[in-house]
Amino acid sequence: GAVVSQHPSWVICKSGTSVKIECRSLDFQATTMFWYRQFPKQSLMLMATSNEGSKATYEQGVEKDKFLINHASLTLSTLTVTSAHPEDSSFYICSARGTSGWDNEQFFGPGTRLTVL
């Protein structure tokens, strides 16, 4: 159990377009989902914390108008990279925290590789 999926697994887009990435908890309800960004050979940097039904909380330095997060249900959160530019190219990873039984544990998705041309 406790599987998190992401879609798409990779995406290539032109500069100036918007890209939506989905994060789903497949077999549990996630009250909280987290979005991370990982640059090559570097660690995960938390971008934002998303609670179902409320606005996301963004980390310092992350543009909320650039990275739109929606957590409309207990099993789905989306990250939309608006007006993407080459510097937005990165590996985006989501994680989900369950409603019960797993305390502070986060379950991670496989990641989405975004390449902006």
Partner 1 sequence: AQRVTQPEKLLSVFKGAPVELKCNYSYSGSPELFWYVQYSRQRLQLLLRHISRESIKGFTADLNKGETSFHLKKPFAQEEDSAMYYCALSGGSNYKLTFGKGTLLTVNP
Please state, as a whole number, how many other Cβ atoms lie within 10 Å of the Cβ of residue 44: 15
Binding-site member from 20, 22, 49, 68 for partner 1 (CB under 8 A): 49
Q: Among 14-22, 63-71, 79-87, 104-112, which window interacts with partner 1 (CB under 8 A)?
A: 104-112
Q: Does 53 bind partner 1 (CB under 8 A)?
A: no
Q: Among 14-22, 64-72, 78-86, 100-108, which window interacts with partner 1 (CB under 8 A)?
A: 100-108
Which is closer to partner 1, CB of 15 or CB of 42? Answer: 42
Q: Which helix (H) or strand (E) segment is 91 a member of? A: strand 90-98
Which is closer to partner 1, CB of 30 or CB of 84? Answer: 30
Q: How far is the CB of 115 from partner 1 (least distance, A)?
A: 18
Nearest by Cα to 94 from 66, 69, 72:
69
d(CA 75, CA 104): 17
User: Measured between alpha carbons, how far is residue 96 from residues 8, 17, 26, 102, 105 in Å?
Assistant: 17, 27, 10, 11, 8
The residues binding partner 1 (CB under 8 A) are 32, 34, 42-44, 46, 49, 57, 93, 95, 97, 103-106, 108-111
